[in-house]
Amino acid sequence: MTPRPFAPTFEHHAPGRLGIGEARPRLSWRLADAAPDYRQQAAELRIAITSPDGTTATSVHRLDGEDQILVDWPARALRSREGVTAQVRVFDGVGWSPWSYPGSIEIGLLDASDWVASFVGPDEPASSDSAPPGRLRSEFELPSVPMRARLYVTAHGLAEVELNGSRVGDEELTPGWTSYRHRLRYATFDVTDLLQEGPNAIGVWLGDGWWRGRLGFRGGLTRVYGDHLAALVQLEVTTTENERIVVVSDDTWQAGAGPMLTSSLYDGEHFDARLHDSAWSRIRSRLDGWTTVAVRSNTATLVAPTGPPMRCVEELTPVTISDKGGGRWIVDFGQNHSGRIRITMPTTPGHEIRIRHAEVLQAGELCTEPLRSAEATDVLVTGETEGWWEPRFTIHGYRYVEISGWPGTLRPSHLVSRVIHTDLARRGWFHSSNALLEKLHENVVWSLRSNFVDIPTDCPQRDERLGWTGDLQVFAPSAAFLYDVTGMLSSWLQDLAAEQAELEWVPPYVPYISLEPFASLPRDPMAAWGDVAVLTPDVLHMATADLALLGRQVDSAVQWIKHVESAAGPTRICHDTEQFGDWLDPAAPPDNPFEATTDRYLVATAYFAHSAKRLAAIGELLGQAEIANRYERLADEVRDAYASTYVRPNGRLTSDSQTAYALTTVFDLWPDEESETAGTARLAELVRRSSGGIATGFVGTPLVCDALTLGGHLSEAYQLLEHTECPSWLYPVLMGATTIWERWDSLTPDGLVNTGQMTSFNHYALGAVSDWLHRVVAGIEPAAPGYRHIRFAPRPGGTLIEAGARHITPYGEASVDWKLEDDRLKVHVSVPVGASATVELPDSDPVEIRHGDHEFSTTIVTPARSPTASRTGR
């Protein structure tokens, strides 16, 4: 009998998620081990829909064929608040498997008319610059015990809710950062257990967050979205008597100041525990100092989450604590990360404990220059309350903290660091026999984690933390392998499309805020950054087979290319436009990262050709022939223009740089084979000449090893990869890095922090090489969307004697492990049920395989030009 399938999952949601926004969520299921000749021929879905009053209707739907990923919703459209379970069983032509266990999900509020609550907040004048964020509260009666209760909440600013003195849920920084002018996300919580028959109290902490807090560099902006904080709270209760009671935020609620004096994402939080009444969100007879709220209007569309929330996902304990004297301590958590400190509160009132954060130390003290103007300082004034204290509405990027004002001896048991980011599911792993490479890869994972904080940010520590489009564009292939990022990024891409439609421009960061200099510059299409509109949906589709995501983004992709096309004009060359170019090329002066070796217009034109080509492919996938044909033609024209402008007859490029050769090769822009051979040979020569020193910035870095591989210069690719002097990927590892640095030399070889403005120790862009580690070093990549067909093509080289990677594909886990024993290459691959694969080993003919475990062994000749290298990964 066919084994039982796993419980179905819905869209990109975690099992059991509440408050999703899809009325027709697509379903996916995985099949565990099955006989080698097993093939799903049909599936049956048993769908049970439960309305909030507890009545359930079940239906069974048969689907013929092999599909098991993001299958269209087979039942009737779901309505707000309905709970759904889905079970699947599969047919292999002979018999049916047992039914899977049920997968479940609950629908949120789908229609604007579902919302009866009002946005309410403290009634304060618009000009009050430093108004403390404040709190809200209300009381209500429940005639009987709740059977089911849901709390729907969002805010202008940030909100954390308490019911009868208990915190609701474990989500952080709710509602996250979307393009608030267009879309505002809400969260849904099951609060059944927090309510009681009779009187109940609800309280809401408010924080400035992205709504009103300081955002951006060069002083930045405050009150970007509004002057006033407000929360929208709707509590829907069904009692055991089946009575429906709705409690909403409205003009009867009250607002009051609290112990939180300031709260800023960049600067930290100031909390005076002496002002804290820990019973504030409980029922009480007397209320002092609470006043009537003001009702605020809202213009954004309220949307449900498509990805996971932010949470504390791990706690780090101190590795060392150094006594600096006078109640001052420096604590090393051993790992750069995003999060906050949780500290035990000394119970003697009136101590001012300051917690400062930094990524690095210099001469044993915190070095805060990389934070630029972000204060990253949390202040706790102690009161009489016992227990832990942790700031609520701030987040920092750090490895070290300085604690001052601590009474007595600071011990490891007094504090932990709470690692906070979007709670993404891990999907990919890599290993190799080179310990430095393993550390490099681990650093990539930590930089991803530190920067997937609701939106994909550039860095977690300084006065930016913006959704820089270029950083994500180059890193998306790595991210999509390492974590399940599709739900989170599909929200961000919708924001991108919304901003783009309004601005007629893909801004360099999303959500867009009008920071200088970008607010005053011409809205030129900025290559590699704006190309995210085409390339990231494409990458996500390849990883997950989510065609609907492509369909949703295709207009944004078309508009982007149209913009580039009109800026380039009939020459098809992107001259005279604002460009970042090969940002942070190591040869650029520290104070001018724009001054890269590679001609920025070459970069822009190469991207134009590549994105037009990928857009044509997207058109093809969506069955939109007009897009496919138009952009195929355009891509060819740009390619020709590129070749005649930048390629010299001998295969040299007008910019004789690693990045220029990398772009031309990986984006397939050489006019003929001879120039490609000569060009890639030149790239290999440049690498040898620099003894393996990398010379690329954000643009060339993700491509250079691929270009060398494609050109048959694998040993130079490994030379770059395993180089340890500055600049190289492994130099930071040897300098003690625990994350990927923004620049190759954030710490210079003399151990000093680079004085340039772009000196973060936690930017993922240069870690984009991990995509090459996965696809080429380990040798696993999708050869069909969603890994329905997998390509295993490990390319051993350098000092490695073994490597491997595994990835939880939509079908289940796929893995490759290889080992060199003298000249024998031994390879183990594993293919999940429902997928198939091609195994391409060096000097061997490709082999087609189906699901299951497979072993291969071949004699390896010294790496040579490989006709089988592929361009599919980019």
Give the interface with ligand BGC as residue ranges (CB under 6 A).
458-459, 464, 468, 470-471, 580, 583, 758, 763
Strand ranges inside 372-500, DSSP E: 377-381, 388-389, 396-404, 415-422, 428-432, 452-453, 455-456
Instruction: For ligand BGC, give the closer residue by CB, 97 or 461.
Output: 461
Instruction: For ligand BGC, give the closer residue by CB, 417 or 579.
Output: 579
Cα distance between residue 730 and residue 393, in whole Å: 35
**Could you tell me the smallest distance in angstroms from the CB atom of residue 653 to ligand BGC?**
24
Instruction: For ligand BGC, give the closer residue by CB, 583 or 601.
Output: 583
**Could you tell me the smallest distance in angstroms from the CB atom of residue 659 to ligand BGC?**
15
CA 189 from centroid of its chain's CA atoms: 23
**Could you tell me the smallest distance in angstroms from the CB atom of residue 607 to ligand BGC?**
14
Cα distance between residue 209 and residue 211, in whole Å: 5
Q: 395 near 265, Cβ under 8 Å?
A: yes
Instruction: For ligand BGC, give the closer residue by CB, 403 or 476.
Output: 476
Name, in order, each residue with C-beta under 8 angstroms of 615's C-beta and a sequence gap of 6 or more.
534, 557, 558, 561, 627, 631, 635
Q: 49 near 10, Cβ under 8 Å?
A: no
Cis amide bond preceding 175, omega within 30: yes
Q: Burial, 64: exposed, middle or buried (Cβ in 10 Å; 0-12, 13-18, 19+)?
A: exposed
**Could you tell me the smallest distance in angstroms from the CB atom of residue 458 to ligand BGC?**
4
DSSP β-ladder status, 789-792 and 836-839? parallel
Cα distance between residue 381 and residue 364, in whole Å: 26
**Could you tell me the smallest distance in angstroms from the CB atom of residue 517 to ligand BGC?**
10
Q: 808 near 780, Cβ under 8 Å?
A: no
Structure tokens at 815: 């893995």
Residue 461 sits at the vertex; the CA angle it makes with 696 and 766, to the nearest 5 degrees, is 15
**Could you tell me the smallest distance in angstroms from the CB atom of residue 471 to ligand BGC?**
5
Instruction: For ligand BGC, give the closer residue by CB, 539 or 627.
Output: 539
Q: 395 near 213, Cβ under 8 Å?
A: no
Instruction: For ligand BGC, give the closer residue by CB, 397 or 798.
Output: 397
Instruction: For ligand BGC, give the closer residue by CB, 571 or 592.
Output: 592
Per-residue b/e over 320-350, b at no fewer than 16 CB within 10 Å?
ebeeeeebbbbbebebbbbbbbbbebbeeee
Cα distance between residue 631 and residue 133, in whole Å: 50
Helix, coil or strand: residue 254: strand
Instruction: For ligand BGC, give the closer residue by CB, 343 or 395.
Output: 395
Helix, coil or strand: residue 828: strand
Nearest to 2 by CA among 115, 120, 98: 98
Instruction: For ligand BGC, give the closer residue by CB, 413 or 520.
Output: 520
User: Which residue numbers are catalytic?
Assistant: 464, 742
Q: 412 near 318, Cβ under 8 Å?
A: yes
Nearest to 374 by CA among 210, 216, 519, 591: 216
**Could you tell me the smallest distance in angstroms from the CB atom of residue 464 to ligand BGC?**
5
**Could you tell me the smallest distance in angstroms from the CB atom of residue 133 to ligand BGC?**
27
Residue 274 sits at the vertex; the CA angle it makes with 269 and 277, to the nearest 5 degrees, is 95
Structure tokens at 6: 């796993």
Count of other CB atoms within 10 angstroms of residue 175: 28
Distances (CA, A) of 281 to 134, 386, 754: 13, 17, 48
Instruction: For ligand BGC, give the closer residue by CB, 233 or 485.
Output: 485
**Could you tell me the smallest distance in angstroms from the CB atom of residue 242 to ligand BGC?**
55
Cα distance between residue 482 and residue 478, in whole Å: 6
DSSP β-ladder status, 780-782 and 455-456? unpaired
**Closest-CB residue for ligand BGC?**
458
- Identity of the amino acid at 121: G
**Could you tell me the smallest distance in angstroms from the CB atom of residue 100 to ligand BGC?**
43
Query: How many helices (DSSP H) and strands (DSSP E) are in the chain?
Result: 14, 42
**Could you tell me the smallest distance in angstroms from the CB atom of residue 539 to ligand BGC?**
18
**Could you tell me the smallest distance in angstroms from the CB atom of residue 365 to ligand BGC?**
25
Q: Find the DSSP H helices in 452-546.
A: 469-482, 486-503, 532-544
Instruction: For ligand BGC, give the closer residue by CB, 45 or 758.
Output: 758
Q: 672 near 680, Cβ under 8 Å?
A: no
- Identity of the amino acid at 633: R
Q: What is the CA radius of gyration of the chain?
A: 28
Helix, coil or strand: residue 572: coil
**Could you tell me the smallest distance in angstroms from the CB atom of residue 757 to ligand BGC?**
8
Helix, coil or strand: residue 852: strand
Instruction: For ligand BGC, give the closer residue by CB, 333 or 580.
Output: 580
Instruction: For ligand BGC, give the closer residue by CB, 148 or 214.
Output: 214
